[in-house]
Structures are given as structure tokens and as C-alpha cells.
Amino acid sequence: MNAAAAAERAARDSYGRLLALLAARSRDVAAAEDALADAFAAAISAWPRGGVPDNPEAWLFAAAKRKLIDASRRKRTANDGKAQLQLNVEELEAETAAGDMPDRRLGLMFACAHPAIEESVRTPLMLQVVLGFSAERIGAAFLVEPTAMGQRLVRAKKKICDAGVGFDVPAPSDWGARFAAVLDAIYAAYGAGWSDPLGADPERRGLAEEAIWLARVLASQLREEPEPLGLLSLMLHLEARRPARRDRDGRFVPLDEQDVGLWQRQSLGEAEALLRAAAAMKRPGRYQLEAAIQSAHATRAWRGEADWDAIVLLYDALSELTGSPVARLNAAAAIARRDGPERGLAAVEALVQLFPALNVYQPYWALKADLCARLGRGEAAAVAYDEAIAREADPAVRAFLEHKRSRL
Amino acid sequence: MQYALLVYETETDFAARDDVERKTAYRAAHLDFLNSIKGAGIAIQSVVGGAGLKPPHTATIVRKRGGSRLVVDGPYSDIKEQLGGIYLIDVADLDAALSWAERCPTASTGAVEVRPVNVD
């Protein structure tokens, strides 16, 4: 990372931490964003003349706090009797007079992932308030018109303010679905970046890196929780394979055919260490299982072969835990690798009886096509490839499927 | 912050109020709920007000259009669960309000909508 990128990263880290502090007290994310934007603007004009302060973060915070207090005083005069605002401002002043600034980003993430917030906007909201992404950038990554995305974000922030969503991290006993929603939002951000593995679109490429960054923040603040480590491990495993996912001509390369020499050993090593640390806490969860599956694939880099026994077992455990038909489909694919295509196809066909919704899922058809082809059932394979191709949005994956079909 | 807990009851819930065998238990459950909010011990967790409502068939709708009064029978919207009462509480934040809503007896049979009160 060069100096400019390091500075940008430091600013981004500060952004989320400062916004979390300001918003936690004002409870008004939009007002905190305005105050912080003013503070950053003031810094841009003041620092080149007077020099960068010793503690830029403290400088920015002091400036933003003044703006926020000014704004809330104006609001208070406009509507008298708002004792609550007075209280918030006093709390804010007391908290920061102490000198050490607490890190409230985690509370901010929990607020963004609150069940009172519409599900589809939780991830974008987190990206905006914790990382400072613009609505344009988020819209580009999630394939939503920037104006529409902007409106959704504004509505969500208004809801946080009007409904009185708190910014305190709830006690673990009260986490319920909210903790899972925080993890899911980070993974969704990663997924939005992952689906463009060539990195041709810088908006989305950056998103995968930022998701990993968010997971690091989460893991650093929840040291007693294994799932953030599991999530981080999972993403680093996937990230390690990024260079191998496309060939020189930009063609999709399935996991089985990837050149393990291209896998990034450093990321794999970190992913493995994180998973071990998570496993030591003896509280398995969805992301630890998913990371363990990727870890069992990664043994190919050392032993030349993925650990298919472990993969089948882990997918079974994941299916049990999540009830997800996708996990079951992956279990069937692993069975096919371990026990042969006939057993695999039987598992796939039993599964689609149970979950007819798989009929609209591209990977179901791609798996079925591959297994039929291996069993010499050319006609059935062709039909399944056609179904898979019709359901694939990524041109590189579509080209891969078309190539496979043409070789039947 | 003040929140209204809008309590949506099913037909069975409404019927319980007039049923000789069930009305004691029904009232006791809501009274317990009310007392547990009052007794939460923290000054800002308190009941501001509230009321139970008579069943939906007792409702009458009034509209005024072009100078004339239009009166029709029945509740405003004809849905399975109807507004059965309101609690007004004063708690720290939405999560505190949601946890009280969850403890409201009707949450396990009907539904409870949590709405912040506009105090401006």
C-alpha cells in the first residue's frame, strides 16, 4: 500500500469511528454526516496552510462536534422544550472531554442492521455510514440507480432517527438475528464485489476489500466471538483464489480446474490461522462451517487433493444448521466428487423433489448438466446446460457453460 | 422516547373479553403486563397512558365530503386483526420499546405495532 492509499485508508477508518461517535449521541445519522462533511471540508482548507495537526482524528472530531452542537442549538431554538437534545449535546461534550475517544463503530453497525430497517438497505447503509461510500458508488455496486439508492438511504437514516433506534451494542443475550444481520451484511458486500472477479469494475473490486476491512473491525471489537473470525477466514479463503478464477483471456475457471500455484499463500495462511482461533472457542456457526469447507478445498494446495470426506460432512452440517437448499445442493456436488456421478445425480434429483425452487437456480442446472455428461447422458446434459445458460447473468460464466455444452 | 404500542387482536382475543371463563385470565395478563412496565424500576421506563378498545363491530366511521357528513358502520379496515387497544410508554429507545411489545400478552396471539409518538 503506498502512502496515498495508506492515508486514504486512515481517513476511512477515522470516518466510521467519528461518525459512530457523533451519531451515537445525536441519534441522527444524517446530521452527524453533515457535521463530519463540514469538518472534512474545513480540514482540506486549513491543513495545507497550517500543517496537518498531530492528531488529525481529534482535530476532525472537535470540528465536527462543534458543527453538530451548533446545528442542534439552532434546531432547539426552532423548537423549544427539546430537553433531549440538550442532554445529548452535554453527553457528547462530556464523553470527548475525557480525551480518549471510544470506538462506537460496532454500535453503528448494529443500528444499520436493525430489523426495523428494510433488509435490502442494511448492507448499503453500513457501507455508507461506516465507510463513507457515496450513494453513487453503492448504487453501482448493487446495480441500483444512484438516485433510488440515495432515497432508500435517506429513508433508512430518517427511520433510525425518528424511530429512536439505539446505537448501543445490545447484550449478547439480546443479539438474536441482529448479530447475524451484521455478519450477513458484510458478507453481502463481499459478494457484490466477488461477482466481478476480474476487477474490471473498480467500484465492485473495492467492495470486496472493504468488506474484509469491516470484518476486521468487527473481529477486533468482538474478541470473544468466533463467527466474525469465521467470516473473515471465509472471505480470505475466497480472496486467495481470486487470481486463479479467470484465465489470461478472462475466461471463468471453476474451482476444480484452478491452478493452485496462483492461490495466494499469505491469505490462505491467515485464513487458516483465523479458523483455528475461531474453532478453539468451540462454538461453531454458519461462517465457521463455510470457512472450514473452503479450508478443506485449500488442502489441494498442499496435498494435491481436496478433502472430500470433510467437505461432504461440513456441507451436511451446514444444511442442518441453515436448512438452506443451496447448502444441500453443494453437499450433493461433494457426494458426486467423492462417490461418483451416479450417486451425486441421485442426491440432486432427490433434492429437487424436496425443494422445487431449485428449478430456477443456475448452479442446480449446471451441476445436473455436468453429472449427466459424466454419465454419458448427452441429451439430458444439453437440456440442463440450456437451462443453466438461460439463468446466468455473468458473461464469463455463461461462456464457460456454453463451451461445456458445445463439447458434449 | 415515547412509543405507542398498538395492540392488534384476533377475533378470539376480542371474544375473550366477554367470555365468562376467559375474561379473568385475559384481564389479568394485561394488568400484569402494565404492572411490570410500571415496576421496571427505572425512572424513564414508565406507562404514559393507554386504553383498551371495544371490539371492531362497535366501530363507526365518519367522513366529511363536500359539506356533508358520511357515516358508515364497521372498523376502518376490514382485516383479520383489529386495533384492540393502545399502551403509551416512555423508554430509552426502540429496542426497549420492542422488548416491551414482545412481552405484551397479545404479541403471542395477534400483533403489536410499535410507533414513536410525535412530541414536536
Q: Work out how many domains chain B is built from and give that number.
A: 1
Per-residue pLDDT of chain A (408 residues; tens, 9 = 90+): 444 555 555 666 688 888 998 888 778 899 999 999 898 888 878 877 777 777 788 888 888 988 888 887 777 665 555 555 555 666 666 665 555 667 788 889 999 989 899 988 998 999 899 878 888 888 877 778 999 999 999 999 999 998 999 888 888 777 777 888 899 889 988 887 766 555 555 556 678 888 898 899 889 888 899 999 999 999 999 999 999 988 888 888 989 899 999 999 999 999 999 999 999 999 999 999 999 999 999 999 989 999 999 999 999 999 999 888 999 999 999 999 999 999 999 999 999 999 999 999 999 999 999 999 999 999 999 999 999 999 988 888 899 999 999 998
Q: Cβ separation of A79 and B120 shorter than 8 Å?
A: yes
A79, A84, A170 member nearest B95 (Cβ):
A170
Instruction: Using alpha carbons only, give the angle A239, A240, A243 rounded to the nearest 5 degrees.
Output: 90
| Domain extent at residue B104 | 2-116
Three-state secondary structure call for residue A369? helix
Helix (H) or strand (E) holding A78: helix A56-78
Would you call B94 an interface residue with chain A, using a CB distance cutoff of 8 Å? yes
B113, closest residue in chain A (CA to CA): A116
Gap between the Cα atoms of B114 and A162, Å rounded: 12
Can you tell me the distance from the alpha carbon of A388 to that of A104, in angstroms, rounded to the nearest whole number?
45
B72 membership: H or E segment, kind and range: strand B68-73
Q: What SS3 state is found at B70?
A: strand
CA distances (Å), origin A307, targets A50, A232, A258, A280, A295: 60, 21, 16, 21, 9
Could you give the CA distance from residue B13 to residue B22 in angstroms, rounded to a whole number?
A: 10
Interface test with A, best of B93, B99, B113, B119 (most A CBs within 10 A): B93
pLDDT of residue B44: 52
8 Å CB contact of A174 and B99: yes
- Check residue A3 and give its pLDDT: 46
Nearest CB to B93; choose among A162, A165, A174: A165
| A15, A26, A178, A370 from A115: Cα distances, Å | 24, 21, 7, 40
pLDDT given at position A290: 96
Q: How far is B6 from chain A (nearest CA, A)?
A: 15
- Cβ-based burial of A234 (10 A; exposed 0-12, middle 13-18, buried ≥19): buried
Decide if A204 contacts A141 (C-beta within 8 A). yes
Q: Which residues of B touch A163 (CB under 8 A)?
A: 94, 116
Report the amino acid identity of residue B8.
Answer: Y
Residue A280's pLDDT is 97
Q: State whether B97 and A114 contact (CB < 8 Å).
A: no
Q: What is the pLDDT of residue A169?
A: 84
Beta bridge partners of B87: B5, B50
Q: Which residues of B touch A170 (CB under 8 A)?
A: 95
Of A79, A166, A170, the CB nearest to B92: A166
> Using alpha carbons only, what angle is made at residue A188 by residues A183 and A193, rounded to the nearest 5 degrees?
130
Reduced to 3 states (helix: H, G, I; strand: E, B; else coil), residue A259 is coil
pTM of the shown model:
0.77
Q: Which residues of A touch B3 (CB under 8 A)?
A: 164
- CATH code, domain carrying B25: 3.30.70.1060
How many CB atoms lie under 10 A from the CB of residue A167? 21
φ, ψ for residue B71 (rounded to 5)?
A: -120, 125
Integer Cα distance of A340 and A101 in angstroms? 58
- When scoring B3, B90, B93, B95 by the number of chain A Cβ atoms within 10 A, the one with the most, hence best to mutate, is B95
Q: What is the pLDDT of residue A2?
A: 45
pLDDT tens readout for residues B76-95: 888 889 999 999 998 888 98
**Is this complex's ipTM strictly greater than 0.85?**
no
DSSP letter string over A17-56? HHHHHHHHHH--HHHHHHHHHHHHHHHHHHHHHH---SSH
